[in-house]
Amino acid sequence: MMVQEAIDTRNRFNVVLSAILIWAVLLSVRLFYFSVIDREDSFSQMATESLEKGKIRAMRGRILSADGDVLAFSRRKTALHIKVDIGGSQLNNLVAILEKEMKLGRRQILMKLANSTRTDSVVIADNLSPKQIERFSRYFTRNSSVFLKMSFERIYNTKSKKVGRTLVDDGQLRGISGFEEKYNEQLQGQDLIYEAMVDRQNRVIEKTYREISKMIPGRDIHLTEEEWR
């Protein structure tokens, strides 16, 4: 009887020991996966994705006379760019779609690419209409070889030098003389700053967009009678 109990005890011990060994092996495999295989996958993912920080420029405010006449205002322009390093077969397909959907001439696009010098991209259409921008968003947002760039131009309704002038500084209009310079900080506003993950095709990965600072449009400046006299 005692011998049988000893055998049963040893058998139970062997079963428990076997279970512990199996659990230890599974744990080791799991740890190996996370420390080696999963680590390599993470590095591989990091190599194909990157964090992009960008900004969307705020609209510069207007300058108005004491009587309420608009003396200076900004207009946003949108240009369509194409990268100059695009491959031959891809270029032919893309040009065909641009010709059909954006009504751009094949010869015009190819000539601009042929005449490009030391630039990453060339403008193939300027001052796009809202309809053209909408069509671009519908057909081309997943193709990183073509993209839109927005810029501003300053329009003046007066020849008075007192209003001043601006120049483009790092993509933003900056006052360099007259009231444009005097009230530059108020007119300029605050750009929208964002960050998002992008893949190798420079496409934003869904749900990774994060707004860092909100856009605040530039203020309108109403000159006093003394200023505009």
Q: Are residues 104 and 190 in the same domain?
A: yes
Q: Are residues 177 and 222 in the same domain?
A: yes
pLDDT digits 0-9 by tens, 73-122: 999 888 999 998 888 788 888 889 899 888 899 899 988 888 887 678 89
Q: Are residues 37 and 123 in the same domain?
A: no
Q: Compute the average pLDDT of residues 152-161.
A: 93
- Confidence at residue 28, expressed as pLDDT on a 0 to 100 scale: 58
Instruction: Name the domain count of the chain.
Output: 2
Q: Are residues 103 and 144 in the same domain?
A: yes
Please tell me the least confidently modeled range out of 122-136, 142-156, 196-210: 196-210
Give the pLDDT band of residue 49 (cuts 50, 70, 90).
Answer: low
The residues, any chain, with a CB within 8 Å of residue 108's CB and separated by 6 or more, are: 124
Q: Compute the average pLDDT of residues 132-152.
A: 82
- Confidence at residue 22, expressed as pLDDT on a 0 to 100 scale: 59
- Confidence at residue 116, expressed as pLDDT on a 0 to 100 scale: 82
Maximum average pLDDT range among 59-68, 90-99, 126-135: 59-68
pLDDT beyond 90 at 156: yes
Q: Compute the average pLDDT of residues 181-202.
A: 84
Q: Are residues 211 and 128 in the same domain?
A: yes
Q: Are residues 43 and 104 in the same domain?
A: no
Domain that holds residue 28: 2-50
Q: Name the more confident of 167 and 42.
A: 167
Q: Compute the average pLDDT of residues 163-181.
A: 93
Q: Are residues 115 and 197 in the same domain?
A: yes
- Confidence at residue 73, expressed as pLDDT on a 0 to 100 scale: 96
